[in-house]
Chains A and B, each alone.
Chain A
Amino acid sequence: MPLAPLAAAFATGIALEPWLSARPTWALGIAAIALTTLILVAGRPAHATGPLLAAVVALGGVRAMSPPIPVDDVRRLSLPATARLEGRLAAPPVRWAPERSRLTVDVERVDDRPRSGRIALALYGPAPPLAEGQRVVVESRLHHAVGFRNPEGFDSAARLAREGIYVTATANAARLVALEPPAAPWPARIRHAALDAMATRLPPVSAALLGGLLLGERTDLPPDIDAAFRQAGVYHVLAVSGFNVALLAGALWSVLRAAGRSRRTAAITAIVAVLAFAAVVGPEPSVVRATLMAGLVLAAVVVEREASVVNSLALAALAILAVRPGDLFDPGFQLSFAATAGIVAAPIPRSLLGGALGVSVAAQLAVLPITLTHFNQLSTVGVLANLAVVPLAAAATILGLLGVASSVVTEWLAGAAFGAVWPVLLGLRGAVSLAAAVPGAVLYLPAPSGGAIACYAGGLGAALAAWHGSGRRRPLLAAAAASLLAAAIALWAWPMLAPATGRLRVTILDVGQGDAIVVQAPDGRTLVVDAGPGGPWRLDTGERVVAPFLLNHGIVRLAATMVTHADLDHAGGMSALRRVVPSVEQWEAPTAQPFGGAWITPLVVTTNSARTNDHALILRVELGLASILLASDIEAAAEHALVERGAPLAATVLKVAHHGAATSSTAPFLGAVRPAVAVISVGARNAYGHPSPGALARLAAVGARVFRTDRHGAVVLDTDGRTLSVTRWADRRVERLCLDPESIC
């Protein structure tokens, strides 16, 4: 019985959920079930499939709808609030940087009153040893989960909501008290013991790499090696995936069969081993998928039936989505299923090298739209790099598993296994850094639209049908495949090729506490002024916010970038941004110049203030009657110097200096600028208390309309020189201003 249509229908229902409301969906489901029953009773089974699939779509939609919020849920607390939080760790703690950990807490009580719900807790400072299942109590600050809100940006709040987390908390690790000793469940203990076994018998970097290969544990992996794996397009070997599960099952099967055991014994042993492995490495969608598929295929061997790989793939998808419908939008789920489906569907040559190449190409083609959508990446060396990396990673995985398993039994066997795995790991690192060093190993490109993805999928499907088909339909299918793929490429490339709009657009991005401003000139040239906070051990907004914004608007090359001053909240993200989106020029002390139809004037500050903020570069961007003053972080001394000098300050829009701090935005300066619109780039819940009430009051006194990135998300200013529209991205509200008092617009 083919299960793939059912899985596809169920996934469709989940994907449609945002556009469905409860009652019509239930009605549709019930009607579809009734219709199916009627058709079946009437004895026309051939017509019953359609309504049955419609019922499954409705079922998917209903499953994905979020349940009503319980009365005692933490979401119902009035937030933000400081509270004593008591609960149980729902997942192993994640240490993502030295002195930074992330805990997932199933809440039991808040301020001694029973509460329910799940919270993501960010812990600062050295954390005590903690384990999954442990009860803890912690003084913490609770907030509603809010991500950065930018056009085409990554929304961390949406990702948390998929895990059932709507409230986040921050706390100092010293404020956390464990109510129980850390009694890790046995899978976590095995994991720890395995990592210890590797760490004691291998040099640190190799041990960290093996930890990634075997268990997906990447905390101790040096960032440059991590980056090299990404760059080479072989990152999948560092995530625990179906690859590990298949290797384990395959290795056990071959060894036991070679040792003369029956097929049945070999299959049962492999099933047990695979289940134990999945329990140890945790429930990532890719692991669950591979475990279910391996289990089904091996179980078919046990009961001596033929297993359908497509069906077991569909059944795995149905099972995962029924339990966690939100996983449909998880990149790991999508990559795992797309790659497997690609390998299953594609015609793979029989020969060893041809087969390996075929598998690699099929997987890359299938995951292409997914890596572009989530990561804006197209790997050019991935297909070839995988040919070298996958066998090495496989050898390292098998030897590593052998070493870990034998380390509990005999020392000499473990020593031998780890001795053998070390050169393999070195070779793997060599191959990966070689592939990563190829210029243009990864291309950063726009995400495809839904239409482009549909055309691409249809094109690949038609190509497969043409390959398998025969007779007269073949050329027809081939032509359809070619035209669909051409349409996909055209749709995808359109944002990069589209003619310029002739308007000046300045976007003040929501990067938390920091500045990142994108200036798109009327002729399509783009300047980036500051790239937000970044650097190692923190979310790099240059890479995660500014770059995706640019790429997904079809900007793959910048005309210029500029850092106003060296503070980390302005300059931190710039190096990552320049790596992803290359820039033709880097302005350090620009002169007044025309810029793609607009006019850019730097205002030079001469002051003997000792503060770096006062020496920040200030830009004035003009088009027609519209003028935008980007005041960076200057404070009272620089503002005073500019007013004294009689600099051309008057502007329609002011990017308020220093995130609205009390020491900036002095009354004389604001009096000289007289902005109609003021934009404050500031982080929600920042530690500095920005924007200050004084600065807000002074802005109100000169009659400025204030927009804030912490409340309104990204603020988009769009002008043709006569009118100005301001968009608050968080609620998509647009306000229009007429700049020419003489005319009507």
Chain B
Amino acid sequence: MDLYTRRQLTLLLVAVLIAGAGLGIDRWRRTHPEEAEHLEALDRAPTPPPAPLSRSPQPARPLAHAAPAPARPPLDLNRATQHDLEGLPGIGAGLAARIVASRAQHGIFASVDDLRRVRGIGALTLARVRPLLGTGPPP
């Protein structure tokens, strides 16, 4: 068969390869949520002990995200800024923005469990952030 030229075949092969790899990774992530979550947190500072961020001249984020000290008062989900939320484990800029958007669009969170209405927050993320969060009246 000389349906395609060499160049087209290479292009198609790359496309199939990317699609296959994408599907495979997506499937693996769904079947192994714990490992996926683990990988997701790789570049984050380890939870215990707190990372020595003070030595860097300009800490990019507030200390809160690095050390979930149990003594700290819980972060009020209905008052937290995008910046505060990015400090939580397992929550990056995208998720934080979505939480804020959801609050603006659909009103306050009745409870911490209500976070599930935000797309991208699964049972595992919720379990990790639950001890760090609380809900109060709207700001």
Give residues in A with beta carbon < 8 Å to B: 1-2, 5-6, 26, 29-30, 33, 36-37, 40, 43, 45-50, 52, 55-56, 58-59, 62-63, 67-68, 70-72, 108-109, 112-114, 135, 180, 322
Contacts and interface: CB of A to CB of B under 8 A. Distances in A.
Contacts of A37: 13
Interface of B: 1-6, 8-10, 12-13, 16-17, 19-20, 23-24, 26-27, 30-31, 106, 113, 116-117, 122-123, 126
B106 A135 contact: yes
Nearest to A114: B116
Contact of B1 (A49, A58, A180): A49
B83 to A, nearest CB: 26
Contacts of A108: 116-117
The 9 A-B residue pairs whose C-beta atoms are closest, nearest first, are A114-B116, A45-B6, A49-B1, A1-B8, A49-B3, A46-B2, A55-B16, A68-B31, A48-B9
A268 B50 CA distance: 57
A114 B106 contact: no
Contacts of A56: 16
Contacts of B26: 67
A279 B12 CA distance: 31
A49 B5 CA distance: 10
A71 to B, nearest CB: 6
A40 B13 contact: yes
Given A40-B13, A49-B1, A68 B30 contact: yes
Nearest to A88: B117
A114 B126 contact: yes
B17 A33 contact: yes
Nearest to A65: B27
Given A6-B12, A29-B20, A40-B9, 8 more contacts: A5-B3, A37-B13, A43-B6, A45-B6, A52-B13, A58-B20, A67-B26, A70-B30
A437 B53 CA distance: 84
Given A5-B3, A46-B2, A70-B30, A33 B9 contact: no
Nearest to A180: B106
Given A59-B16, A67-B27, A70-B30, A40 B10 contact: yes
A40 B6 contact: yes
B75 to A, nearest CB: 19
A114 B113 contact: yes
30 contacts: A2-B3, A5-B3, A6-B12, A33-B13, A33-B16, A33-B20, A40-B10, A46-B1, A47-B1, A48-B4, A49-B1, A49-B3, A49-B9, A50-B1, A52-B4, A52-B9, A55-B16, A55-B20, A58-B20, A59-B20, A62-B23, A62-B27, A68-B30, A68-B31, A70-B122, A72-B123, A112-B113, A114-B116, A114-B123, A322-B19
A47 B6 CA distance: 10
Given A6-B12, A52-B9, A26 B1 contact: no
Contacts of A55: 13, 16, 20
A26 B123 CA distance: 29
Given A62-B23, A108-B116, A52 B12 contact: yes
A68 B27 CA distance: 8
A52 B23 contact: no
A470 to B, nearest CB: 21
Given A6-B12, A45-B6, A52-B9, A62 B123 contact: no
Nearest to B8: A1
Contacts of A45: 2, 4-6, 9
Contacts of A46: 1-2
A555 to B, nearest CB: 45
Contacts of A62: 20, 23-24, 27
A59 B20 CA distance: 6
B88 to A, nearest CB: 17
A322 B20 CA distance: 12
Nearest to A4: B3
A45 B4 CA distance: 8
A692 B122 CA distance: 44
Contacts of A47: 1
A53 to B, nearest CB: 9
A343 B20 CA distance: 33
Contacts of B13: 33, 36-37, 40, 52, 55
Contacts of B2: 45-46, 49
Contacts of A50: 1
B3 A26 contact: no
A212 B3 CA distance: 43
A26 B24 contact: yes
Contacts of A29: 20
Contact of B16 (A26, A49, A52, A70): A52
A604 to B, nearest CB: 64
A26 B31 CA distance: 16
A114 B110 CA distance: 13
Contacts of B30: 67-68, 70
Contacts of B9: 36, 40, 45, 48-49, 52
A199 to B, nearest CB: 32
A2 B19 CA distance: 19
Give the interface centre of B20, B24, B26 by most chain A CB atoms within 10 Å: B20
